[in-house]
Amino acid sequence: MDPLDIVGNLHKIKPVFQPILSAINHGVIGHEVLARYKQDDTWLSLGSFFHDPDVPEEFKVEVDQQVLQLAIEEMLANNSDGMLFINRNAKQLMVNNGEDLMQLLLQYEEKGFHLNRIVIEVTEHDFDEDFESLSHLLLYYKTFGIQIAVDHVGAKSSNIDRIRQLEPHILKIDTSIIRTQNGDVFQDIMYSLSMLAHRIGAALLFENIEDDFQLYFAWKHGSRYYQGFYLAHPSFQPVDHTSLSMKISEKISGYIQREKNLLEQRHNFVKKWEQKVRSVLSKWEGPKKADIFIQSITEQFHEESFRMFVCHIDGQQVSSNFRKKTDTWELEPHKRGSNWAFRPYFLENVMQMKALNTGLLSGLYSDIETKEMVRTFSFPLTDQHFLFIDLRYAYLYDHECLLA
Ligand code: CA
């Protein structure tokens, strides 16, 4: 398509609305507006027009203004409530200091379309441009109640400082990176993004959701909002949840049951392990005989564990490392005396075990020595000494509830 044809035929352009659903009330909280261009008898996406760096920004502004105007009029005519998500790149926003957009929005505010219903999506790529000016402009928009979303978060991972500075209301995550990234890399990206979102008070929105697994994944990773073909295709009118064929309430209640089930199974594992340790607890004769104690329990955790040791509440290891080599447990006495209190969660965990007198299962983490993903089950032998049982990845892998 020739960009000149597009700008010369604004009457052939129409907005389409893609619904965005909420995990909180399971309804449609708004729509992302996209542009379609009528060529012969088909409506084509204008994605390539907007992403082409050779198309002058002024052209894009003109088409976007037209689409936005039609979209708001459509929503007003339909009495459709909810948010309107619009895409703008940095260069486009900078044309005329972003005033074209602001003037248009103010004009519609007078007609009853409040500015706090607008969400401007900017992409992380845009941060490479003049970030300070972009940041100022977005702050200015925010003072009118306009919300900011950062689109395609995680595609480039180096912008955490800039995302922090913008304090956007929403982080949009492209679910297709689940499909393209290696699982561990993606888990790490997700972990950092959910921490970031949590700390700056931004909501996560997973977009491009195409199947049930991806919706489950988004839900499980704390996504407040969802968007994608699996939920709804874009259409020429904004919709509400009653017209969607996908019943997200049913899906989510299925996920809740599934998750509860996994948590219950995991809890049963922990109870079983606690029972095993309690059954030999009478053999604990103090830290000087810690190795003898561990010897009495290796057999019980032969299948689950590859490493065990005992620590004092101040972090000091009082036993050898017991390490399983294929079928036998070997001792590493030189590990005695190591201090682990600096490790994340160590003190918090031992204090909790001491207070509650129950075992504890850690989250998944990468073992420093083996580089494999592991979890640790720990148990208070007394209020001063704690048994640590590192669980093999292969064992965790065989039990879905231990990986979740
Ligand atoms: Ca977008």
Would the pTM count as exceeding 0.85?
A: yes
pLDDT for position 237? 94
- Assigned domain for 338 exists: yes
pLDDT for position 158? 64
- Assigned domain for 159 exists: yes
**Across the chain, what does the average pLDDT equal?**
93
Q: Which structural domain range is residue 210 located in?
A: 3-233
| Statement to judge: residues 332 and 193 lie in one domain | no
CATH number at residue 285: 3.30.450.20
- Read off the amino acid at residue 175: T
Distance 67 CA to ligand 1 centre (A): 14
Distance 171 CA to ligand 1 centre (A): 11
* pLDDT, tens digit (0-9, with 9 covering 90-100), for 139-165: 999 999 999 999 988 766 567 888 999
* pLDDT, tens digit (0-9, with 9 covering 90-100), for 270-325: 999 999 999 999 999 999 999 999 999 999 999 999 999 999 999 999 999 999 99
Distance 121 CA to ligand 1 centre (A): 6
* Average pLDDT of the residues in 343-364: 95
| Statement to judge: residues 344 and 213 lie in one domain | no
Phi, psi of 56 (to 5 degrees): -60, 140
| Statement to judge: residues 88 and 207 lie in one domain | yes
User: 3-state class of 39 per DSSP?
Assistant: strand
The number of folded domains in the chain is 2
Distance 339 CA to ligand 1 centre (A): 49
* Average pLDDT of the residues in 38-43: 94
Distance 244 CA to ligand 1 centre (A): 21
| Statement to judge: residues 203 and 340 lie in one domain | no
Contact 307, 321 (CB under 8 A): yes
Distance 115 CA to ligand 1 centre (A): 19
Distance 87 CA to ligand 1 centre (A): 5
| Statement to judge: residues 140 and 25 lie in one domain | yes
DSSP assignment of 146-188 equals: -EEEEEEETSS-S-HHHHHHH--SEEEEETHHHHHS-HHHHHH
Distance 150 CA to ligand 1 centre (A): 9
Distance 168 CA to ligand 1 centre (A): 14
| Statement to judge: residues 161 and 279 lie in one domain | no
Distance 81 CA to ligand 1 centre (A): 20
Distance 151 CA to ligand 1 centre (A): 6
The whole-angstrom separation of Cα 173 and Cα 182 is: 16
Distance 142 CA to ligand 1 centre (A): 18
| Statement to judge: residues 226 and 113 lie in one domain | yes
CATH number at residue 179: 3.20.20.450
* pLDDT, tens digit (0-9, with 9 covering 90-100), for 49-83: 999 999 999 999 999 999 999 999 999 999 999 99
pLDDT for position 276? 97
Distance 19 CA to ligand 1 centre (A): 12
| Statement to judge: residues 224 and 339 lie in one domain | no
| Statement to judge: residues 274 and 375 lie in one domain | yes
pLDDT for position 176? 83
- Assigned domain for 195 exists: yes
Identify the band that residue 123 occupies on the pLDDT scale cut at 50, 70 and 90: confident
Which token pair is 282? 């009478």
Distance 34 CA to ligand 1 centre (A): 8
* pLDDT, tens digit (0-9, with 9 covering 90-100), for 90-119: 888 988 888 999 999 999 999 999 999 999
| Statement to judge: residues 109 and 207 lie in one domain | yes
Distance 251 CA to ligand 1 centre (A): 24
Which token pair is 172? 């949009």
Distance 110 CA to ligand 1 centre (A): 27
| Statement to judge: residues 391 and 308 lie in one domain | yes
pLDDT value at 178 more than 80: no
